[in-house]
A and B are shown apart, each in its own frame.
With several copies, the nearest count.
Chain A
Amino acid sequence: MSSTALDTAALKQQFPLLQREINGTRLVYLDSANTSQKPAVVIDTMTNFLRNSYAPINRSAYQLAAEATDAYEGARTKVQQFINARRAHEVVFTKNATEALNLVAHSWGRANLQAGDVVVLTHMEHHANIVPWHMLVAERGIVLRWVPLTADGQLDLTTLAQLLDGAKVFSFTAMSNVLGTITPVQQLCAAAHAAGALAIVDGCQYVPHNVTDVQAWGADFMAFSSHKMCGPSGVGVLYGREALLEAMPPFLGGGNMIADVRLDGFTTAELPAKFEAGTPPITEVVGLGAAVDFLIGLGMANVRQHEIEVAGYALRTLTSRFGDDITLHGPTDTSVRGATFSLAFRGIHPHDLSQVLDQTNVCVRAGHHCAKPLMRLMGVAATARASFYLYNDTDDVDALADALDGASAIFGF
């Protein structure tokens, strides 16, 4: 069933992979927090580009190359508008969000952080927003502090002011990929700035699902990945405030990021080229542009509204059907959560659960979801995670519930 906000029946038709049947059963893809499927318009844009317009960008004067450059830079402008950045060159294309976060930790971090400097993270961060900082702990002796969680999986902000006191950086996720929790980004950015710290937002799980406005947030940096928002793999985005990007040393060295290279040194190019060394993911950036158009066409407010409805339906359905046999981690209030659910079910190990659900083509991920510190705090080694996106609907929730029933049968309940 469709929600009031999106016509999912029609939407599903636009995703070729969701038409796939395995052993005669339709695919129920509930792993979009991991990576999303792609609408035909994105696939076709890439295919057409490869067939008719593929060419190098930036460096050649002929028309084909000029067209390709326009397509590439046009996608940058689309992304700029999508996240409401002030300038197009505040949008840097990376290979994924992980590279984007590493870029900040490496370039801004090594230029600005000394031994003893404090970086504040939260207990619900993805490894991509932990390990780059751990590397600076090892190399530079910076100090990490952690914002703890409340019992229902929200950030516990009661001690935030103390944690931020004297901190140089506050880097946090806008939405947890494990708990589904949406954090109060604008408030957190303000708190960071009040303490004189930089606000870095991991937008991986937020940008695909909600209206994003980096200026309203007041974010200094923000990272996200194309592949989670209906776009191709192989491209991520780093948003950075112009003044910060200007002042930072470059990250990767090579072609495109230089103004001049001599035998004895080099000077860097202007933004955004300065941070885009080498041949970029040309076709993939063009595909991301098509994904942004697709999402704008749906309206991100509608996407969010739809997911609120699906999340609410999932909470009600799974709780009423399985009661205490199911644990749904994270907040129960849909106004502070997305449609991503980590769950525990009747003591069945997540890996077994995922495998059994797969027999009815219900695809959920089992594992630590690249958030091992959070897993340890939750006291589990792994969870099964069902994550819903714009193409999922209440039928998919029902399919999940039915598949859970089937799992009980095998493991003998």
Chain B
Amino acid sequence: MAGLEDLYREIILDHHRNPRNRGELPPPAPHAVGHNPLCGDEIEVYLQVEDGRVTDIKVGGQGCSISQSSASMMSQAIKGKPVADVQALVRRFKGMMSIPDADGNEIEPDPEVKLGDLEALQGVVKYPVRIKCAILGWNTLLEALEQV
């Protein structure tokens, strides 16, 4: 179907069918739940952070292909990374999704931060309603990080 290939790239559908890092971590692992009230999507993020580094992440919840694959790709991308790099990646990803920063300004892409597979999600920007799906996991991640 014309036009939709940009949204439903093969790698996205793959993460949707076979989500990575699925599961939970036992308390007291930092843990957050995110909702998208519009479509009922729900994502749970569990973290293990040691010496300023995300040593493990598990993702739970349910939702559409975009929210689930975005969270799955996110989990792959951040596992093992220092928290500072994770923060930078979140910022970079939100920038790609055209989300402004806290002051309402556009986020300039930082060339140092590589998106890798996540670039596949770029097509989402053309579908504003789906942007919320794509960033749901990322906002949930930020919430979980606040508990560290």
Contacts and interface: CB of A to CB of B under 8 A. Distances in A.
Pair from one complex: yes
Interface of A: 23, 58-61, 65-66, 69-70, 87, 258-260, 269, 349-352, 355-356, 359-360, 366-368, 372, 375, 380-382, 406, 409-412
Contacts of A375: 40
Contacts of B38: 58-59, 367
A356 B4 contact: yes
B63 A61 contact: no
Nearest to B41: A381
B127 A355 contact: yes
Nearest to A372: B40
B130 interface: yes
Given A406-B1, A409-B1, A269 B127 contact: no
A350 B37 contact: no
A66 B39 contact: no
B102 to A, nearest CB: 10
B129 A260 contact: no
A352 B62 contact: no
B64 A349 contact: yes
Contact of B1 (A356, A367, A381): A356
Main secondary structure of the interface of A (DSSP, over half): mixed
Contacts of B13: 411-412
Interface in B61-118: 62-66, 104
B19 to A, nearest CB: 13
Contact of B128 (A66, A349, A382, A406): A66
Given A258-B37, A351-B64, A367-B40, 12 more contacts: A66-B127, A349-B63, A349-B64, A351-B41, A351-B63, A351-B130, A352-B64, A356-B4, A366-B39, A367-B38, A382-B41, A411-B65
A356 B8 CA distance: 10
Interface of B: 1-4, 7-8, 13, 35, 37-42, 62-66, 104, 127-130, 133
14 contacts: A61-B129, A65-B129, A87-B104, A260-B35, A351-B39, A355-B7, A355-B130, A359-B2, A366-B39, A368-B40, A381-B62, A382-B41, A410-B4, A411-B65
Contacts of B62: 381
Contacts of B2: 23, 359
Contacts, number: 75
A359 B40 contact: no
B65 to A, nearest CB: 5
B63 A381 contact: yes
Contacts of B64: 349-352
A409 B65 CA distance: 15
Q: Among B1, B65, B127, find the residue whose CB has the most chain A CB atoms closer than 10 A.
A: B1
A411 to B, nearest CB: 7
Nearest to A67: B128
B39 A367 contact: yes
A410 B3 CA distance: 12
Contacts of B130: 61, 351, 355
A258 B38 CA distance: 10
Contacts of B42: 381
A357 to B, nearest CB: 10
A352 B1 CA distance: 13
Given A66-B128, A66-B129, A260 B37 contact: yes
Contacts of A411: 13, 65
Contacts of A382: 39-41
Contacts of B8: 352, 410
B35 A259 contact: yes
A129 to B, nearest CB: 18
- For the complex of A and B, the 4 pairs showing the least CB-CB separation, nearest first, are A381-B40, A351-B64, A349-B64, A382-B40
Q: Among A258, A351, A356, A372, find the residue whose CB has the most chain B CB atoms closer than 10 A.
A: A351
A260 B34 CA distance: 12
B97 to A, nearest CB: 15
A355 B64 CA distance: 11
A69 B130 CA distance: 13
Contact of B37 (A69, A269, A360): A269
